[in-house]
């Protein structure tokens, strides 16, 4: 069955919504981390976010939208983390950062922005556990899904097959019950506002599977 990862970026009350998400069957909590440089916005700093365990025991799917993943990886590796994903567009040594994540026995992923070519992932395929295909331009929740993402996911699936990669595909941004039917070949659907701004989290999560 398809997995669902819920992000609280659009949440109006993070402790309340994390507690509510903890009562659902959502597979992961997607933690969006923004440094105000790679993307304009900034999110909760680590010294606040590290208390997330008080509100949820769900495994974390950390999405680093930061210029220097090497700075953030050791911090988020301390938490109940299943995946750490950063962007293929960063200027740091990507292989070094992927190996750093794996050194904590945490699964590693690369995210690609809408304007980035899928072929940019090729050098890293042997390392990847996850490819996060952005359905919106990173930086905020509640945006419209970019339709070209559907073809991009097909390209990523072809790449995984031809390079015999073990990476799973996740789509992040603008995902809802309409969009999910365009993404049947996706392993994990990451969704924010569609879930946390609704009045029934479980119903919305179930509608994505």
Annotated catalytic residues are 32, 172
Q: Which is nearer to Zn ion, 32 or 35 (CB)?
A: 32
Rounded CA separation 141/162 (Å): 33
Q: How far is the CB of 94 from ligand DX5 (least distance, A)?
A: 19
**What DSSP element (H or E) covers 65?**
strand 59-65
Span of 97-105, 115-123, 132-140, 198-206 interacting with ligand DX5 by CB under 6 A? 132-140
- 3-state secondary structure string across 139-199: CCCCCCCCCCHHHHHHHHHHHHHHCCCCCEEEEECCCCCCHHHHCCCCCEEEECHHHHCCC
80, 142, 162, 163: which one binds ligand DX5 (CB under 6 A)? 142
Any contact of residue 67 with ligand DX5 (CB under 6 A)? no
DSSP 123: G
Any contact of residue 87 with ligand DX5 (CB under 6 A)? no
In the complex, which residue's CB is closest to Zn ion?
Answer: 63
Rounded CA separation 205/189 (Å): 10
Q: Check: CB of residue 64 under 8 Å from CB of residue 33.
A: yes
Any contact of residue 172 with ligand DX5 (CB under 6 A)? yes
17, 100, 159, 192: which one binds ligand DX5 (CB under 6 A)? 192
Span of 63-71, 84-92, 101-109, 201-209 interacting with Zn ion by CB under 5 A? 63-71
The contact set with Zn ion (CB under 5 A) reads: 32, 63, 172
């Amino acid at each position: 069955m398809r997995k669902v990862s819920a992000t609280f970026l659009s949440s109006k009350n993070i402790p309340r919504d994390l507690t509510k998400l903890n009562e659902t069957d959502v597979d992961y909590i997607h933690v969006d981390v923004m440094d105000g440089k790679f993307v304009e916005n900034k999110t909760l700093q680590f010294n606040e976010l590290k208390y997330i365990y008080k509100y949820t025991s769900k495994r974390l799917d950390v999405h680093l939208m930061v210029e220097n993943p090497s700075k953030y990886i050791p911090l988020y590796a301390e938490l109940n983390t299943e995946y750490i994903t950063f962007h293929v567009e960063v200027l740091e040594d990507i292989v070094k950062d992927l190996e750093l994540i794996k050194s904590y026995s945490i699964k590693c992923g690369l995210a690609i922005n809408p304007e980035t070519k899928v072929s940019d992932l090729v050098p890293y395929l042997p390392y990847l556990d996850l490819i996060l295909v952005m359905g919106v331009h990173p930086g905020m929740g509640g945006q419209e899904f970019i339709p070209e993402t559907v073809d991009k996911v097909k390209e990523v699936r072809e790449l995984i097959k031809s390079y015999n990669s073990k990476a799973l595909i996740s789509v992040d941004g603008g995902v809802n019950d309409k969009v999910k039917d365009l993404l049947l070949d996706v392993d994990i659907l990451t969704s924010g506002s569609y879930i946390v701004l609704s009045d029934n989290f479980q119903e919305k999560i179930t509608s994505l599977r």
